[in-house]
C-alpha cells in the first residue's frame, strides 16, 4: 500500500490569532497529484504556506510520511524576478540548487548538469542563455517550474501555475505537469481558482467551499460551482460532498 506523503488532521490555519480555515482533514499519497480548488481569498495559499512550514498551524497536526520529512519544490503565485537584474533562464534555474552549496563557493559541475536536465524536462534547454525578462509568460512559468525541480523535490507545490498566461500556454503547462508527474513519479499539489483549469484526469480535489474544506470529484466540484452561480434570493445553498 502506498504510504501517505502528507496527512492533515483537524487543522486550523491562519495568521496569529486570525483563523482563515478550520477542521481541515485530508491526506496525499506518495506519487499522487491533487488539486486545491477555491475562490480567490479563500485560504488556498495560506494552506500551502502552512504545509511548507512557512507559517505555523493554529491548531491540529500535519504528518509528513512515515520515513522522512519531504523536500519541497515550490512555485509561488505570480512569481516575478526583478527585471533590473539580467538573469538568464539558466541562472534562474540554478537558483534552485543554492541550498546545496556553501555561500561564496563555486557551483559544482553536478549542479550544472542537473540544471540542464531540468531545462530539458520542461522543454526550455534551447532558451537557457536567453534573459528571463525576454521570455513569454508561458516560458517564464516553465523556467520557474524547472527552478523548483532543481531542488530535487519529493513534493512539487504549484500555486496558480497557469494564471495570467494565454490559453495555448495554459494547455501546454498542464500537459507539462502531467508529464512530470508520470516521468518523475512526483507528488504534486496544485492550486487553482478556475474550475476549467483542473485537469480531467485528477482524481483528488480538495475544495474550499463556503469556508469549509471538502473532498470531491471533478463532477461534484463543477456541480457546486454552478450552484454558486445561481442567485439565491437571500438564502444560502450548500452542497454535500462525500
pLDDT of residue 230: 44
What is the b/e burial string over 139-155, where b = at least 16 CB atoms within 10 angstroms of the residue's CB? bbbbbbbbbbbbbebbb
Would you say residue 46 lies in a domain? yes
| For helices 137-149 and 167-184, angle between their N-to-C axes, nearest 10 degrees | 20
pLDDT of residue 3: 84
| Phi, psi angle pair for 69, to nearest 5° | -70, 125
Domains in the chain: how many in total?
A: 1
Range of the domain at 51: 1-70+194-242
Contacts of residue 173, Cβ cutoff 8 Å, sequence gap at least 6: 138, 141, 142, 145, 161, 162, 165
How many CA atoms lie less than 13 Å away from 14 in the CB half-sphere?
13
pLDDT of residue 228: 61
Residues of the chain with pLDDT under 70: 1, 66-67, 78-81, 84, 101-105, 225-242
**CATH code of the domain in which 237 resides:** 3.40.50.300
Pairing of strands 33-37, 204-209: parallel
Would you say residue 242 lies in a domain? yes
Would you say residue 75 lies in a domain? no
Torsion of CA 56, 60, 64, 69, to 10 degrees: 30
Instruction: Please choose, from the candidates 8, 37, 29, 48, the residue with its C-alpha nearest in 3D space to the C-alpha of residue 185.
Output: 29
Would you say residue 12 lies in a domain? yes
Would you say residue 47 lies in a domain? yes
pLDDT of residue 67: 62
**pTM of the model as a whole:** 0.85
Would you say residue 93 lies in a domain? no
Amino acid at each position: 500500500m502506498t504510504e501517505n506523503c502528507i496527512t492533515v488532521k483537524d487543522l486550523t490555519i491562519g495568521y496569529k490569532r486570525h483563523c482563515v480555515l478550520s477542521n481541515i482533514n485530508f491526506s496525499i499519497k506518495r506519487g499522487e497529484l491533487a488539486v486545491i480548488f477555491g475562490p480567490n481569498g479563500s485560504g488556498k495559499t495560506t494552506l500551502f504556506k502552512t504545509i511548507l512550514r512557512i507559517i505555523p498551524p493554529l491548531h491540529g497536526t500535519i504528518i509528513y510520511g512515515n520515513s522522512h520529512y519531504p523536500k519541497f519544490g515550490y512555485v509561488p503565485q505570480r512569481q516575478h524576478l526583478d527585471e533590473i537584474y539580467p538573469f538568464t533562464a539558466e541562472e534562474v534555474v540554478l537558483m534552485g540548487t543554492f541550498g546545496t552549496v556553501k555561500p561564496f563557493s563555486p557551483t559544482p559541475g553536478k549542479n550544472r548538469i542537473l540544471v540542464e536536465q531540468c531545462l530539458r524536462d520542461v522543454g526550455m534547454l534551447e532558451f537557457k542563455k536567453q534573459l528571463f525578462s525576454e521570455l513569454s509568460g508561458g516560458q517564464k512559468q516553465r523556467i520557474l517550474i524547472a527552478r523548483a525541480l532543481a531542488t530535487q523535490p519529493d513534493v512539487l507545490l504549484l500555486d496558480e501555475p497557469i494564471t495570467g498566461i494565454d490559453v495555448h500556454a495554459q494547455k501546454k503547462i498542464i500537459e507539462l505537469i502531467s508529464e512530470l508527474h508520470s516521468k518523475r513519479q512526483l507528488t504534486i499539489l496544485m492550486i487553482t481558482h478556475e474550475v476549467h483549469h483542473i485537469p480531467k484526469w485528477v482524481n483528488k480535489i480538495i475544495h474550499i467551499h463556503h469556508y469549509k474544506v471538502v473532498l470531491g470529484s471533478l463532477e461534484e466540484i463543477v456541480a457546486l460551482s454552478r450552484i454558486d452561480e445561481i442567485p439565491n434570493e437571500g438564502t444560502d445553498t450548500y452542497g454535500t460532498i462525500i
